[in-house]
C-alpha cells in the first residue's frame, strides 16, 4: 500500500484549521516572545519521571522500544547507530512501515551496520552501495533502515538495511506516493574522508515491507549541498528543501514529471532558490546583520534558477545569495501542512534559540502566473526563550493539528534533557516529552498512518521509541 495524496491532504486539514488561531495570535503581537505554557488546556499536563530513565511523558502515556543500535536485524546486519529523520507509511495488513535515516560517516564503525571491524561487510552486495569505499576500505556508513511495525500489538515484525553507502543521512521527507527521500548532510568529494564518490545528494527509498537493500542512486538534479530535509506539496508535486548551514538557502525543485511515482524525480527538473522580492540577499536569522524580520509578516517571494548545481566547491548557497537569494540560519526539519511548508532554522533568532518559518505557495506555484500572485514567506515563531523551545530541529504535524518539535542543544547543566515541544493552535508551547537518558537530541518525530502512535529517536542512545496514549482527535 502506498501513501496517497489523499492521505497527505486529509492529515493536513486538521493542521491548517488548528493553526488559524495561532496565526491570529502572532499577528496581534508580532514582536513578543513565546513562553512555555502552564495552562491546563495546553498540552497533556506535567511530565512524570520515568523510573527506567529513558523518556519522561505525561500521565496516561507510555512508550515501547522499537529498535536499539547494535542489535541484529533480520538481514543479519547490526541495527546502525545515530538514528535521525524518519517517516511512517501504511503497510500490508494494517502494519506500519518506518523508513529511518542514520547520521553516520566512514569514521562511525563503532555504530556501523557491518560491525566494528567490517566483519559483516562481505555479506552485502557492495554494488548496491552508493559509495562502496576503496578496496579493503570502509564504505559510507549512513543510509536508511526499514522497520515493519504493528501498532495494534506494539510489535516489531521486521528490520533491515534499505539504503547503504551514503554519508550523514540526517533528515529528509515522505513523498505522496509512498517513498522516503533521504538526504545527505555532507560535502565530501572523491578522495576526502575515505570517499570514492561525491556526497551531498538526495536518495529515494521505497517503503517496502518485503524489501531489502536497494540500488543507491542519487537524484543529482536536486543539487549537491548540505541537504537536511524536504517536503512535497501534494497538490503540485513541487519539492522544497532545507540546507543545514549558517548561511543556507531555501530551495525549490520543480520536477519535469509531476505525476508522482517512484523514480519520477530521477527524470530531472529545475532547482531554484527563494528570494524575498523587496529584500535582495536578506539574512533572515535576526542576528542583527540586517533589518529584523518580524513574526507574523508575510513577505512576497520569487524564485531564481541555480546553475552548476553539483557544486564541487560546496558554494551553491554562496552563489545563490550573491544572486539575491535569502539566507537562513541552519535550515533543518521540514513538514507539509495542508497549504504550507513549515521548516525550522536551528540557529535562528536574536538569541539563537531557533526559528520556525512557514512558506505559503502561490496558487500558480511553479508557473508564470506566480509573478502576479507570488508565494509568501512568514516567520511563524521565534521563541527567544529556551524554556519555550531551544534549537528546533526535526518537526512534524500531529493528527490533531499541533506541531511537535524536536529540540537539539539543550544545555544539560542548565536544564537537563532535550524535549519534544508541542505548539498549540493558540500559539502556546508545551512540553510533551523529555529525554531522560542523556543530553542527546530527539530526531525523526512522526505519527503512524492510523494516528495511534508517535515514533521518535533519541540519537545518542541509538533508540527508536513508539509512544501511545490519550491523543486528542482535534
Express each pLDDT in 282-337 by its tens digit.
Answer: 999 999 877 788 988 899 999 999 999 999 999 999 999 999 999 999 999 999 98
d(CA 391, CA 393): 6
Between 311 and 42, where is the model more confident? 311
CA distances from 125 to 121, 215, 362 (A): 8, 10, 45
22-36, 113-127, 288-302, 387-401: which range is least confident on average? 22-36
171 close to 65: Cβ distance less than 8 angstroms: no
Q: Which of 33-37, 103-107, 203-207 has the highest mean pLDDT?
A: 203-207
Separation of CA 84 from chain center: 8
Between 141 and 16, where is the model more confident? 141
Separation of CA 147 from chain center: 18
Residue-level pLDDT at 37? 57
| Average pLDDT score, the chain | 90
Residue-level pLDDT at 157? 98
pLDDT exceeds 80 at position 444: yes
pLDDT exceeds 80 at position 42: no
d(CA 56, CA 341): 30
Instruction: Work out the pLDDT band at 192, boundaries 50, 70, 90.
Output: confident
104 close to 18: Cβ distance less than 8 angstroms: no
d(CA 211, CA 68): 21
d(CA 399, CA 426): 16
Task: Tell me whether residue 107 is exposed, middle or buried, using C-beta atoms within 10 angstroms of its C-beta: 0 to 12, 13 to 18, 19 or more.
Answer: exposed
Residue-level pLDDT at 35? 57
**Neighbouring C-beta atoms of residue 308, cutoff 10 Å:** 12
Q: Give the phi and the psi of residue 271 in degrees, each rounded to 5.
A: -100, 130
d(CA 64, CA 68): 11
Instruction: Work out the pLDDT band at 132, boundaries 50, 70, 90.
Output: very high
Helix, coil or strand: residue 321: helix
pLDDT exceeds 50 at position 343: yes
pLDDT (mean) for 389-409: 93
Instruction: Work out the pLDDT band at 30, boundaries 50, 70, 90.
Output: very low
Residue-level pLDDT at 108? 86
Query: Per-residue DSSP letters for 143-179?
Result: EEEEEEEETTTTEEEEEEEEEES-S-EEEEEE-TTSE
What grid cell was written down for 213? 537493500
Residue-level pLDDT at 136? 81
Residue-level pLDDT at 405? 97
pLDDT (mean) for 55-74: 98
CA distances from 440 to 109, 193, 363, 390 (A): 19, 25, 41, 13
pLDDT (mean) for 92-102: 98
Handedness of CA 162, 122, 457, 150 (dihedral sign): positive
446 close to 87: Cβ distance less than 8 angstroms: yes
pLDDT (mean) for 358-380: 96
Instruction: Work out the pLDDT band at 149, boundaries 50, 70, 90.
Output: very high
295 close to 388: Cβ distance less than 8 angstroms: no
268 close to 256: Cβ distance less than 8 angstroms: yes
pLDDT exceeds 80 at position 414: no
Instruction: Work out the pLDDT band at 20, boundaries 50, 70, 90.
Output: very low
Residue-level pLDDT at 292? 86
21-30, 174-183, 263-272: which range is least confident on average? 21-30
Instruction: Work out the pLDDT band at 258, boundaries 50, 70, 90.
Output: confident
pLDDT (mean) for 137-164: 97
Residue-level pLDDT at 387? 87
Domain boundaries in the chain?
Answer: 14-32+220-382, 33-65+385-474, 69-190+202-218
Q: Which residues pair with 404 in a beta bridge?
A: 396, 422
Amino acid at each position: 500500500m502506498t501513501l496517497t495524496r489523499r492521505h497527505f491532504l486529509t492529515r493536513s486539514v486538521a493542521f491548517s484549521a488548528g493553526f488559524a488561531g495561532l496565526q491570529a495570535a502572532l499577528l496581534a503581537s508580532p514582536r513578543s516572545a513565546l513562553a512555555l505554557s502552564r495552562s491546563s488546556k495546553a498540552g497533556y499536563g506535567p511530565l512524570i519521571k520515568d523510573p527506567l530513565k529513558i523518556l519522561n511523558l505525561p500521565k496516561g502515556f507510555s512508550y515501547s522500544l522499537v529498535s536499539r543500535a547494535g542489535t541484529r536485524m533480520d538481514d543479519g546486519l547490526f541495527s546502525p547507530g545515530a538514528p535521525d529523520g524518519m517517516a511512517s507509511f501504511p503497510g500490508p495488513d494494517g502494519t506500519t512501515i518506518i523508513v529511518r535515516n542514520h547520521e553516520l560517516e566512514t569514521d562511525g564503525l563503532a555504530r556501523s551496520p557491518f560491525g566494528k571491524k567490517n566483519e559483516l561487510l562481505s555479506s552485502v552486495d557492495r554494488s548496491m552501495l552508493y559509495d562502496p569505499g576503496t578496496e579493503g576500505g570502509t564504505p559510507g556508513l549512513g543510509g536508511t533502515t526499514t522497520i515493519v511495525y504493528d501498532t495494534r500489538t506494539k510489535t516489531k515484525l521486521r528490520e533491515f538495511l534499505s539504503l547503504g553507502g551514503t554519508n550523514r543521512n540526517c533528515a529528509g521527507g515522505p513523498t505522496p506516493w509512498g517513498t522516503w527521500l533521504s538526504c545527505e548532510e555532507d560535502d565530501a568529494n572523491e578522495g576526502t574522508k575515505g570517499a570514492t564518490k561525491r556526497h551531498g545528494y538526495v536518495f529515494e527509498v521505497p517503503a517496502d515491507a518485503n524489501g531489502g537493500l536497494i540500488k543507491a542512486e542519487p537524484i543529482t538534479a536536486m543539487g549537491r549541498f548540505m541537504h537536511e530535509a524536504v517536503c512535497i506539496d501534494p497538490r503540485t508535486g513541487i519539492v522544497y528543501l532545507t540546507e543545514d548551514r549558517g548561511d543556507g538557502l531555501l530551495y525549490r525543485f520543480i520536477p519535469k514529471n509531476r505525476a508522482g511515482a517512484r523514480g519520477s524525480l530521477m527524470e530531472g527538473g529545475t532547482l531554484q532558490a527563494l528570494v524575498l522580492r523587496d529584500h535582495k540577499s536578506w539574512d533572515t536569522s535576526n542576528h542583527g546583520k540586517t533589518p529584523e524580520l518580524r513574526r507574523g509578516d508575510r513577505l512576497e517571494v520569487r524564485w531564481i534558477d541555480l546553475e552548476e548545481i553539483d557544486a564541487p566547491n560546496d558554494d551553491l548557497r554562496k552563489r545563490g545569495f550573491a544572486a539575491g537569494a535569502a539566507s537562513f540560519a541552519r535550515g533543518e526539519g521540514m513538514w507539509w501542512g495542508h497549504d504550507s511548508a513549515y521548516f525550522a532554522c536551528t540557529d535562528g533568532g536574536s538569541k539563537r534559540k531557533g526559528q520556525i518559518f512557514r512558506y505559503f505557495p502561490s496558487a500558480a506555484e511553479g508557473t508564470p502566473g506566480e509573478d502576479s500572485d507570488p508565494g509568501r514567506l512568514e516567520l511563524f515563531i521565534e521563541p527567544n526563550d529556551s524554556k519555550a523551545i531551544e534549537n528546533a530541529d526535526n518537526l512534524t504535524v500531529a493528527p490533531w493539528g499541533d506541531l511537535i518539535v524536536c529540540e537539539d542543544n539543550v544545555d544539560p547543566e542548565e536544564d537537563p534533557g532535550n524535549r519534544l515541544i508541542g505548539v498549540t493552535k493558540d500559539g502556546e508551547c508545551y512540553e510533551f516529552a523529555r529525554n531522560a537518558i542523556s543530553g542527546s537530541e530527539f530526531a525523526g518525530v512522526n505519527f503512524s498512518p492510523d494516528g495511534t502512535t508517535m515514533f521518535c529517536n533519541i540519537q545518542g542512545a541509538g533508540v527508536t521509541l513508539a509512544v501511545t496514549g490519550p491523543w486528542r482527535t482535534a
